[in-house]
Structure 1
Amino acid sequence: MASIDYEKLVQAIGDAVVVVDVSGVIVTWNAAATRIFGYTEAEALGRSLDLIIPERQRDRHWEGYMKTVSSGTTRYGSSVLRVPALHRDGAALSIAFTVALLYKDSGQVDAIAAVIRDETTRFAEERALRKRLTELETKLAVGASTP
């Protein structure tokens, strides 16, 4: 069996792969993360994950993050989490991701890896469809109540 160069694999994946240490500092940032968020690898490495977290979401994010680090468990290993994020230019993004906890030999969490997909377009399309459905339901209700 051929050996796999995991660094090349991470860089080739079409979804963003972002790995942060237990304090929330970015230690891995692939090419797809650059495409999605606008920061180069050099700009992102060594910086806080706050780089891509909207300010209004940060307290909630870090509360959950620290709970995950201390408990060593997450439900987002197999369940997708959908949250807002920020592009380098300040534009709002909608992302979906799962995480993998990376452990030390002692069993403590050493890092958290996220595989992230940009769902901004899909989210906007769903929002427009929901709005249109509400408008049609309102028209239908108004029409039904008119004799």
Structure 2
Amino acid sequence: MALTFLGRRNEDPCSKDGCYIWELMASALNDMVSQGMIKEEQVDSFNIPQYTPSPSEVKLEVLKEGSFSINRLEVSAVNWNALDDWNALEFESERFESVGDGGYNVAQCMRAVAEPMLVSHFGEDIIEEVFSRYQQILADRMAKEKTKFFNVTILLTRKT
């Protein structure tokens, strides 16, 4: 069996590897609190049910459970901005303008994940504003640093 999921490369659960993208979402929400668009209590009580494990945590859980042997375990990095991957391959970025703004693309990916939770907690009225702000924050961060997701991939064999 092969599994790939979001993780982190280092052991600190609070590192940028695992929670930075959500910290930026929190920045957008906190901006809206400071402008009186949403209540601070709403933001304080909002939680995203996600955990990004390190490779050693994954290994420990598989060994504890005991049904599988680990054949391979590795971490790979994926750029938030798809154009970074193309540029790394020395393609002309003008040829790939249709890929669009990286901040927009990442915001839309995150919207697919987070929108139902945000609507359930805050209501539908704030969604466009949250993601507009989030897109701007993402674009700013992505312009200043190489941002990456980390995938943990594990290959397992069921013990007989």
TM-score grouping bracket, smaller chain normalisation: under 0.3
Q: Greater strand share, 1 or 2?
A: 1
Q: TM-score, normalised by structure 1?
A: 0.27
Which structure's residues are more often helix, by fraction? 2
Higher relative contact order (CA 8 A, sep 6+): 2
Q: TM-score, normalised by structure 2?
A: 0.26
User: Which structure has the bigger radius of gyration?
Assistant: 1
